[in-house]
């Protein structure tokens, strides 16, 4: 089977599974979120393992999964979950390294903390918004963010292939172009406007702000992609993993979405 067909089939199955989990019921969505966060965190830490062998990717993935499990399924208060995330997880790692006589305990504990903070915390907050927004589960919020990211990525790729001449950040991601970046933002803005215009994501703001929001999120998606590219370049890796044939790992598939969720959480007062 050609690489194009492998990517196409994997992409279709991927979209169906993600949308199915989001639309089916909130429990399925919670499991999806846990997988995205924990596996992405595992891949992130594994990329650093060659540089710092005291980093334990499995410990990181389990700790992130526990935080989301406690928060999403057992309704642990966010301040308690944050305590576990910010205090207990790094402390356990430090103790583990002290007993095994490993070096650089604070640098690796900081790396684990940074990974949990980047991959786990925003999704925990997103669950709060999706469950409590007007008192009901609102999957359209997540679908809206997904569509923005997918449109930005797809048209940035197509725009770069058809029009790309000027490199965006060649030292970080050699294949990204300014033309592709602009193409992605244009269609992200259009997608945002159309979804809001037809009532998928209802926000009572002027029409032109829908376009601005789409461009804003499209920019965040690109930044998330560039962050991942810089980490992979540091580790000398092509992909963060190989879970999805032809597409790489979990972080490869959700790098833009993770950054967009962060931006959505931080800027939510503007949208609510």
142 closest CA partner among 51, 6, 18: 18
121 shares its domain with 148: no
Distance of CA 36 to the CA centre of its chain: 8
pLDDT of 188 over the 80 cut:
yes
- The total number of structural domains that make up the chain: 2
pLDDT of 91 over the 80 cut:
no
Q: Phi, psi at residue 3, to the nearest 5°? A: -60, -35
**Residue where a domain stops, chosen among 97, 115, 137:** 137
105 closest CA partner among 113, 90, 94: 94
Alpha-helical runs (H) found in the chain: 3-24, 26-49, 57-72, 78-83, 89-99, 105-119, 121-132, 139-163, 178-197, 207-235, 250-266, 268-271
**Residue where a domain stops, chosen among 104, 137, 170:** 137
Q: What is the pLDDT of residue 221?
A: 93
223 shares its domain with 148: yes
- Confidence band for 63, pLDDT divided at 50, 70 and 90: confident
122 shares its domain with 166: no
Element (H, E) at 167: strand 167-169
Domain holding 161, by residue range, is 139-272
Collapsing DSSP to helix, strand or coil, 223 comes out as helix
235 shares its domain with 129: no
57 shares its domain with 176: no
Q: Judge contact between 179 and 163, C-beta under 8 A.
A: yes
17 shares its domain with 119: yes
168 shares its domain with 36: no
126 shares its domain with 154: no
160 shares its domain with 82: no
- Confidence band for 114, pLDDT divided at 50, 70 and 90: confident
Query: Of the ranges 77-91, 197-211, 237-251, 252-266, which is most confident?
Result: 252-266
Collapsing DSSP to helix, strand or coil, 248 comes out as strand
Q: What is the pLDDT of residue 148?
A: 92
Distance CA 266, CA 256 (A): 16
Q: Is 82 exposed, middle or buried (0-12, 13-18, 19+ CB in 10 A)?
A: middle
- Confidence band for 183, pLDDT divided at 50, 70 and 90: very high
**Residue where a domain stops, chosen among 137, 158, 183:** 137
β-strand 173-177 against 167-169: which pairing, if any?
Answer: antiparallel
31 shares its domain with 105: yes
- Average confidence score pLDDT of the chain: 77
Integer angstrom CA distances of residue 105 from 45, 112, 134? 15, 11, 44
38 shares its domain with 111: yes
Radius of gyration of the chain (CA): 19
Collapsing DSSP to helix, strand or coil, 59 comes out as helix
114 shares its domain with 231: no
Q: Is 163 exposed, middle or buried (0-12, 13-18, 19+ CB in 10 A)?
A: middle
Tokens representing 32? Answer: 């999806």
């Amino acid at each position: 089977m050609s690489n194009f067909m492998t990517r196409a089939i994997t992409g279709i199955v991927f979209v169906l599974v993600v949308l199915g989990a989001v639309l089916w019921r909130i429990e399925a969505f919670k499991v999806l979120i846990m997988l995205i966060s924990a596996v992405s965190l595992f891949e992130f830490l594994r990329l650093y393992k060659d540089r710092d062998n005291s980093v334990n990717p499995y410990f990181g993935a389990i700790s992130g999964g526990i935080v989301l499990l406690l928060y999403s399924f057992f309704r642990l208060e966010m301040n308690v979950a944050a305590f576990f995330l910010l205090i207990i997880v790094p402390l356990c790692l430090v103790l583990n390294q002290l007993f095994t006589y490993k070096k650089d305990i604070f640098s690796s504990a900081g790396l684990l903390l940074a990974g949990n903070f980047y991959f786990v915390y925003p999704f925990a907050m997103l669950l709060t918004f999706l469950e409590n927004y007007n008192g009901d589960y609102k999957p359209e919020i997540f679908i809206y963010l997904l569509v923005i990211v997918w449109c930005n990525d797809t048209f940035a790729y197509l725009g770069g292939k058809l029009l790309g001449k000027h490199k965006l950040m060649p030292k970080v991601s050699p294949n990204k172009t300014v033309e592709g970046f602009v193409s992605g933002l244009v269609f992200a803005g259009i997608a945002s406007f159309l979804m809001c215009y037809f009532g998928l994501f209802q926000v009572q703001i002027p029409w032109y702000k829908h376009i601005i929001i789409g461009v804003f999120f499209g920019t965040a998606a690109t930044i998330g992609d560039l962050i991942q590219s810089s980490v992979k370049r540091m580790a000398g890796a092509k992909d963060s993993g190989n879970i999805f044939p032809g597409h790489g790992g979990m972080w490869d598939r959700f790098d833009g979405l993770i950054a967009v969720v962060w931006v959505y959480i931080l800027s939510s007062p503007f949208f609510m």
